[in-house]
Amino acid sequence: MKALKVGIIGFGTVGTGVYKVLQSFPNIEIKKIAVKNITKKRNIENFDTTLLTQDPYEIVNNPEIDIVIEVAGGVTPTFDILTAAIKNKKHIVTANKELLAKKGSELFQLAKENKVIILYEAAVAGGIPIIMPVKTILCANKITKIAAILNGTTNYILTKMAEKELSYETALKQAQELGYAETDPTGDVEGYDAAYKIAILSTISFNKKVDINKIYREGITKITAQDIKSAKELGYTIKLIAMGQVLENGKIDVRVHPMLVAKKHLLAKVKNATNSIMLTGYPVGDLIFTGAGAGAEPTASSVVGDLLVLASELEASDSPIPQAICNHNEIADQINIGDTYNEYYIAINASNNPGAIGVIGTICGKNNINISTIMQKGTKDDNTAEIVVITERSKEADVQNALKELLKSDCIKNIDNLLRVMN
Please state, in angstroms and rounded to a whole number, the distance separating the CA atoms of residues 169 and 347.
20
Residue 335 domain-assigned? no
> What Rg, from alpha-carbon coordinates, does the chain have?
24
Residue 141 domain-assigned? yes
Task: Note down the domain range covering 150.
Answer: 131-292
Quick one: 219 and 275 in the same domain?
A: yes
Quick one: 219 and 117 in the same domain?
A: no
Computed over every residue of the chain, the mean pLDDT equals 94
Worst-scoring range by mean pLDDT, 210-219, 320-329, 337-346? 320-329
pLDDT given at position 1: 59
Residue 400 domain-assigned? yes
How confident is residue 320, by pLDDT bands cut at 50, 70 and 90? Answer: low
pLDDT tens digits, residue range 64-115?
Answer: 999 999 999 999 999 999 999 999 999 999 999 999 999 999 999 999 999 9
Quick one: 232 and 270 in the same domain?
A: yes
Quick one: 301 and 392 in the same domain?
A: no
Quick one: 198 and 276 in the same domain?
A: yes
pLDDT given at position 295: 87
Q: How far is CA 1 from CA 8, 18, 62, 115, in A?
A: 21, 20, 21, 22
pLDDT given at position 63: 96
Decide the pairing of beta strands 142-149 and 236-246.
antiparallel
Quick one: 274 and 403 in the same domain?
A: no
Quick one: 60 and 197 in the same domain?
A: no
Quick one: 280 and 148 in the same domain?
A: yes
Quick one: 287 and 312 in the same domain?
A: no
Quick one: 176 and 188 in the same domain?
A: yes
Quick one: 257 and 233 in the same domain?
A: yes
Please state, in angstroms and rounded to a whole number, the distance separating the CA atoms of residues 364 and 371.
8
How confident is residue 323, by pLDDT bands cut at 50, 70 and 90? Answer: low
Residue 272 domain-assigned? yes
CATH number of the CATH domain containing 184: 3.30.360.10
Residue 108 domain-assigned? yes
CATH number of the CATH domain containing 406: 3.30.70.260
Q: Which residues are catalytic?
A: 197
Number of domains in the chain: 3
Residue 334 domain-assigned? no
Quick one: 352 and 286 in the same domain?
A: no
